[in-house]
Amino acid sequence: MKSLLAQMDEKTILAMLDLIAEGIWDWNANTGYVYRSSGWYRMLGYDEHSLDNNVLTWESIIHPDDFHNVMAHFDDFITGKSNIYKIQYRCRKKDNDYLWIEDTATIVTRNNDDSVARIIGAHRDISAEKLIEERNLLEKHSLQEIIDRQTAELNRTNKALSEKVSAVEKVANTDGLTNISNRFGFETKLNSEIARVKRFNESLSLILFDLDNFKPVNDIYGHTRGDDLLCSVANLLTSHLREIDLPVRWGGDEFMILLINTPLIEATNLAEKFRVMIAEHPDINCLGVTASFGVVCLNKDEDAKHFIIRADNAL
């Protein structure tokens, strides 16, 4: 006779798990789809199934200080360097406060090439346990008031230092004229995104375009008019791209757009949209300037250098 569990369908099992577990997730690595149980949303205070069903949702709520360790631990697990996935970290709730969770997972199926096909896991609220740990730690110290003052002073110092570092990084990574990313900022972002999309088997597309007949604008109307034109193009990009995408001034009158989790057909359609908008923009059209585009999607095992070269060849 079959066991009771064996007679249940998947929907029934998920419903039972939702009653006894705080957060169940199920990642299909081949499609990129991530199922999250109702309990997962309740635990973090979000409306049920209100977030996108992909790994970007998970990545976006991990505390920045924990992100690197979580990704390294996850990479070791899916590449076979570790047989266990179990890690504690903080996740951002809907109210922007952070909740300590314990994340455990197991690989359910693999593809023919032994790559991961499906992983299921659970997020457990361990905030109470963390609070008890912190309380026990504080009780061991008799000079708690001094520690608190020192901690507050250290936090103020770290905040001031962090703000200065952020300001320096922004200057280093931003084009001074158009206020979008520059070449240096783009190359840093590109390498991290290539690693990320290969980890999660997602799409990454790149649009490269330059402005046709731009040089005569500088020659006839002056460089100030040319700078205004470049700023108009940059504003056009930032106002019509998602927050996760990256518009870049590649140099001179060349621009790039890095499109996260975007297949080639969608990137091509977007390039056509920008081509038309640039051609019809009143501040650009009156100067006789148009744009030419090259669009590519990252190939498996391709590095950043060849990715850019293919975009340039396409242009």
- Give the three-state DSSP class for 31: coil
Convert the pLDDT of each residue in 243-266 to its tens digit.
999 999 998 999 999 999 999 999
Q: Could you give the CA distance from residue 196 to residue 201 in angstroms, rounded to a whole number? A: 8
Per-residue model confidence (pLDDT) at position 141: 62
In this prediction the pTM is: 0.68
Percent of the chain with pLDDT over 90: 64
Residue 116: enclosing H or E segment and its boundaries?
strand 116-125
Per-residue model confidence (pLDDT) at position 16: 54
Half-sphere exposure (CA, 13 Å, Cβ side) for 136? 6
Max mean pLDDT among 145-154, 202-211, 278-287 falls in: 202-211
CB 228 within 8 A of CB 273: no
Convert the pLDDT of each residue in 260-273 to its tens digit.
999 999 999 999 99
pLDDT averaged over every residue in the chain: 87
Asked whether the predicted pLDDT for residue 15 surpasses 90, the reply is no
Convert the pLDDT of each residue in 93-127 to its tens digit.
999 999 999 999 999 999 999 999 999 999 999 99
Measured CA to CA in angstroms, residue 231 lies from 226, 239, 257, 288, 290 at distances of 9, 12, 15, 16, 15
Per-residue model confidence (pLDDT) at position 5: 46
Q: Which residue in 116, 304, 312 sits closest to 192, CA to CA?
A: 304
Instruction: With both helix axes pointing from N to C terminus, report the angle between 64-78 and 183-200 in degrees, rounded to the nearest 10.
Output: 40
Per-residue model confidence (pLDDT) at position 17: 57
